[in-house]
Structure 1
Amino acid sequence: MRFPVHSAGARSAWSAALLALAVAVATALAGGAVTARAAVTVRAADELLSQGKPATASSVENTGTPASAAVDGNVATRWSSAFSDPQWLRVDLGATATISQVVLNWEAAYGRAFQIQTSADALTWTTVYVTVAGTGGVQTLPVTGTGRYVRMLGLARGTAYGYSLREFQVYGSGGGTTPPPGSGTIPDPTIASLEATAGPLATATYTVPNPSGYKAGTITYPTAGGSYPGIVLMPGYQGTQQNLSWLGPRLASWGFVVVNVDTNTLSDTPDQRGTEIRAAGTQLLNLSNATGNPISGKVNGTLGVSGHSMGGGGTMVALRDDSRFKAGAPLAPYHTSPNFAGVTKPTFFLTCASDVAAPGATYARPWYNSMTQAEKLYIEVPGDHLCPMTGYGNKAKQGKWLVSFFSRWLRDDTRFTPFLCGTQRDADRTNPSLVTQWTDTCPF
């Protein structure tokens, strides 16, 4: 088949004296914070505030031990850090809370000297607990403090490995009753706001330094504080970042950290693009887990993906093969020998009615039909194969649908559901000048 060209235009040594001094200063600042190990009990009046909330760390050992694993309520998963000091893990409770206990469920790699700290803004910290004699295991720490953010700051490791927590549990009152992670500053959506060229959040861009596994990348991110889901954008055959340059800022302004990438070669196959998507997702998470860059702490560990044409085929490959990607939107997707029946992630197929390069009836529709265990959305719109690209198609409608889809499935923000699966969608779905086919698995 002939394709159209898509181009448009071990650890630093810590001396005993330095460690003692650091702990002494921290203790003084904390007003003599408690250092004794408490019994493993939780008072009945305490509420678990941290589970499922956004978590961030100074580093991760690998992609299988993310910060989010320490607040998922599952002791079979864990966060682990790089093998160096100092390291930290923090959780965003979503609102100011009164903190009464912190429970640390350590894996074998534990902290010998560490602090528990609280903060209102993740910038200025108050120490509420200090120890230089951590024993590992399960430690229940009585603390007194307030803050939206709570972190464990490790100063000295108990082993040669890093810090590793199966669970980091914060108890108290308050916090908790906030919108889904990453949506606290996002107002209720309307048709007008979703169809505008930009959402409610200011954004900035950052060029990926030393791309790994792909040629180049540009990250667009909200400048507001907090952490957000990450999304990888992948161009089509002979395409570049320009293909989807309209979509990155649109998504970022609604609370996503978006990396728009260039492929290693313009003719990379869909499978190669799937590998590059995974590499870009890994680097986005690593940048968030590192310090000294504007993405630090910005990604909450959840990933999504969207790609055009062969990039849409790569999107399906990533959804099938990489559990980190929780939702995807293939746009006029193409893949010659796919088997995507095993894809169980929410998937939004956007196809073009006059597409002769990757007709929806040949590619996206059979994939949609084969995916019997996924929440799905299929929308066909007027236009040829280029209809999802920058400068083509109805970007007000496409943007509304894509923002709503990723908000619903990457943030679990049900405020966006009506625009895809409710009365707010009907004006689009029944207008043949806007939509030529619409199929879904509503209600979701």
Structure 2
Amino acid sequence: MTALIALATALGLALTLLTAAAPPAAAADLLSQGRPATSSSTENAATPASAAVDGNTGTRWSSTFSDPQWLGVDLGSTVTVSRVVLRWEAAYARAFQIQTSDNGTAWTTVYSTTTGTGGLQSLDVNGSGRYVRVHGTQRGTPYGYSLWEFQVYGSGGGTPPGNGIPDPTTASLEAANGPLTTATYTVPSPSGYGSGTVTYPTAGASYPGVVLMPGYQGTQQNLQWLAPRLASWGFVVINVGTNTLTDDPASRGRQITAAGTQLLALGNAPGNPLSGKLNGTLGAVGHSMGGGGVMAALRDDPRFRAGVPTAPYYPNVNFSAVTDPTFFLTCQSDPVAHGNSYAVPWYNSMSQAEKLYIEVPGDHLCPMTGYGDKAKQGKWILSFLSLWLRGDTRFSPFLCGPVRDGDKNDTSLVTRWMDTCQF
């Protein structure tokens, strides 16, 4: 019996060591945006195949009204495909397959369903190929097939996993700046919002975009501390000034959407420093009424795939429809927007979203520049956005599991922590 116990203990220790030594999963990059797209048919000239890979959720591909139909993208070289995102218009596929090919002729099915429901579908797949297509075999409506966006994520095709971002550590994430060199660019003609300063990595790669939105009476100074931290870890960050200092949360949500639209447009336009820097994925961070605006953007604009509302304020609004990953950062002694009044009810109502809630000491200003523990706040926000906007699971341990427990269990640092781990 003693020998068996010793053997079991040794095996358990060995498995623990092997698990700890396992290499981190590679981040997934958006590979399809702007690549050549083709389709079996188009409904008309206004709905071409290219509209489904242009990063604009206001344009779409649609087919003629018959089965089967397909839409495909040429990724330029053989890649490893790990995720496909479909943003269906009302005309969706009830039965379809995701297929890959090395030559555009012989196809391998990596996902198949006969019970599709349309809407936004994020599909984990495991395959490789130069060409990827969605092949519809049964329509869900009398119309054709129609996609606002067809996004293929993976690694390869000349894009290093994680865009050259090194493995994160506690020390590196708590530092004021990350591993990438950054520069700034002032948006010359803001459209739909007051002003914009973009901080971006100078390396030759494309990254997710993040909109920073201040609160009531706030300016770009509100969240200025966060822009270089995010940019130096692989984000293109637009720090926004509002149309007026008194804009309400609904208006701030619309301005987040407008800033995201212009940021993507700058990434697609030649002749400016942001050309080619945006990969089509968007997130947002906001304070107070700006945090309420983040919630509105997540609810109303499918291009925004993750958000961080800090000390969020938006009275008498239901956000149970939000399904995107959301990190609520609140302040224990907040007399304006205490978590119990806004963030906690929203958190509890969002049954379909991955969620994180952290309450820290301080008043309503705790997430702003010059207040609170920016090393910890920065680490959490960076990790959350890296995980959910880039799919970079190397950042998960700082939010879930033993690595984060030092933060979670420190009552001088965190007064309340809730999550939907494991992420």
Residues 145-170 of structure 1: CA distance to partner in whole angstroms, max 9, x if unpaired?
xxxx99xxxxxxxxxxxxx999899x
1:331 is the counterpart of 2:325: no
Change (3 A) 1:203 1:337: same
The answer to whether the 8 A contact 1:319-1:326 is kept is yes
Which residue number in structure 2 is paired with residue 247 of structure 1?
226
Match of 1:297 in 2: 276
* CA distance in 2: counterparts of 1:432 and 1:94, whole angstroms: 50
Distance (whole Å) between structure 2 residues aligned to residue 65 and residue 280 of structure 1: 26
Aligned residue for 1:421, secondary structure, equals coil
**Where does 1:107-256 land on structure 2 (aligned, <5 Å)?**
175=156, 183-256=162-235
2:335 aligns to what?
Answer: 356
Counterpart in the other structure of 1:53: 31
Contact 1:68/1:300 (8 A) holds in 2? no
Which of 296, 300, 318 does residue 297 from structure 2 map onto?
318
* Structure 1 residue 395: Cα displacement: 0.4
Aligned equivalents of 1:324, 1:205: Cα separation in 2: 24
For residue 407 of structure 1, what is the aligned residue in structure 2? 386
Larger radius of gyration: 1
Gaps in structure 2 of 5+ consecutive residues: 1-27, 37-46, 63-72, 81-100, 106-129, 132-146
Cα deviation, 1:83-114, whole Å, max 9, x if unaligned, reads: xxxxxx98576989xx97468xxxxxxxxxxx
When residues 345 and 92 of structure 1 are mapped into structure 2, their CA distance, relative to the original with a 3 A threshold, is farther
The reply to whether residue 276 of structure 1 matches residue 240 of structure 2 is no
Q: Is 1:384 aligned to 2:390, yes or no?
A: no
CA deviation vs aligned residue, 1:169-202 (integer Å, no higher than 9, x gap): 9xxxx9369765xx22100100011001011100
Contact 1:56 1:68 survives alignment (8 Å): no
8 A Cα contact 1:57 1:289, kept in partner: no
Distance in 1 (alpha carbons) for counterparts of 2:333 and 2:345? 17
Indicate how the Cα distance of structure 1 residues 66 and 398 shifts in structure 2: closer, same or farther if over 3 A, else same. Answer: farther
Tell me the distance in 1 between the aligned counterparts of 2:199 and 2:182: 7
Preserved CA contact (<8 Å) 1:404 1:420:
yes
Long gaps (5+) in structure 1: 1-49, 59-63, 80-88, 104-148, 151-163
Aligned residue identity for 2:269: A
Cα gap change, 1:65 to 1:395, in 2 (>3 Å): farther
Q: 1:102 to 1:165 in 2, by over 3 A?
A: farther
Q: Identify if the C-alpha distance between structure 1 residues 165 and 403 changes in structure 2 by more than 3 Å, giving closer, same or farther.
A: closer
Alpha carbons of 1:93 and 1:249: their partners in 2 closer, same or farther (altered >3 Å)?
farther
The answer to whether the Cα contact below 8 Å between 1:71 and 1:168 also exists between their aligned partners in 2 is: no
Quote the offset at 1:424 in angstroms: 1.0
- Secondary structure of 2:308's counterpart equals strand
Q: Which amino acid aligns with 1:349?
A: F
Quote how far apart the aligned CAs of 1:338 are: 1.0
Indicate how the Cα distance of structure 1 residues 306 and 52 shifts in structure 2: closer, same or farther if over 3 A, else same.
closer
Counting aligned pairs with the same residue, the percent is 64
Structure 1 position 436 matched with structure 2 position 415: yes
Q: Is the 8 A contact 1:53 1:71 kept in 2?
A: no
What is the Cα deviation at residue 51 of structure 1?
10
Q: Give the counterpart of 2:325 among 343, 346, 350.
A: 346
1:365-376 correspondence runs (5 A): 365-376=344-355
RMSD value, Cα: 3.4
**Could you state the TM-score of these two structures normalised by the residue count of structure 1?**
0.64
* Residue 423 of structure 1: how far off its partner (Å): 1.3
Which letter maps to 2:156?
G
Change (3 A) 1:244 1:90: farther
Are the counterparts in 2 of residues 66 and 301 from structure 1 also a CA contact under 8 Å? no
Contact 1:53 1:92 in 2 (8 A): no
3-state SS in 2 of match to 1:357: coil
Native 8 Å contact 1:70 1:78 kept in 2: no
